[in-house]
Amino acid sequence: MLKPVYRLLIELTNGRWTSGILQKFAQSNLSRRVIPSFSRIYNINESEMEKNLHEYPTLHEFFIRRLKEGARVTDESPESAVSPVDAVIEDIGDIREDRIITVKGKNYSISEMLGANKAGKYAGGTYMIFYLSPSHYHRIHSPVTGKVTDQWILGLKSFPVNKWGLKYGRETLSKNFRSITEVKHGDSVIAIVKVGAMFVNSIELTHEGDQLEKGKEMAYFTFGSTVILLFEKGKFQLERSIKTPAHIKVGERIGTLCE
């Protein structure tokens, strides 16, 4: 009974006023009352949460919850790339030489996604799309160890990026509000594109300095959203066992970085 209501409010809300109202409610003390039902409806694993359910003062704080130490284990192989989020891998594919990716039958320009003069290095490479629903842990971790070479923000507002948003929306991946981090690992550069899912556009960066460590937190989403990883041509080999759609957790191996 309540799940369609939560979906309407959290996954499909696009308007300036309704999203603003939702944001204010989620950050209010009143929202604390809906946390138990939210946890139950979305089957949240409360045993891995850093705090007990009653310790979260607002729905917002519950949504951006941290996990207990050791709840996620990061693949330690020095050549591996790992999942940056708990998510469903919705799509994996090649980036065409004209810098186009095709997702759910629709074409997206990574030149538009990344902005002017940023996409050339990824032509012929690989993309991976990770979708986070309201049921997922919403903190973002680095997929590799490396140095941040650039970081920037594009886009003004956001629309749904769940499977229906990808299928029926208009250029959601390349035009939604997005925060982009490029990190250099050895001779490889990886783009971590964090895509907003609602008008609220809440993507908060938490890492400090220009160094990222594989498996360590770097940002978080306030609402369900999407992370896109872009790898350069010949620099990444996908883990063979991964077939889309694939459920995955932070720190699990997604492939190998090639020298």
Classified as helix, coil or strand, 93 is strand
Q: Provide, for the chain, the percentages of residues in helix, strand and coil under a 3-state DSSP scheme, each rounded to the nearest 5.
A: 25, 30, 45
- 94 labelled catalytic: no
- 39 labelled catalytic: no
Out of 136, 141, 185, 207, the active site residue is: 141
d(CA 142, CA 24): 30
- 86 labelled catalytic: yes
Which residues have CB under 8 Å from 47's CB, separation 6+? none
d(CA 195, CA 165): 13
Q: Token digits for 90? A: 């919705």
d(CA 33, CA 146): 42
- Residue 110, phi then psi, degrees to nearest 5: -75, -20
Core vs surface per residue 21-35: b (16+ CB within 10 A) or e: ebbeebeeeebbebb
d(CA 124, CA 22): 41
d(CA 165, CA 12): 9
Out of 83, 86, 91, 133, the active site residue is: 86
Partners of residue 131 on adjacent β-strands: 88, 226
Residue 153, amino acid: I
Out of 83, 111, 202, 225, the active site residue is: 225
Catalytically active residues, by annotation: 86, 141, 225
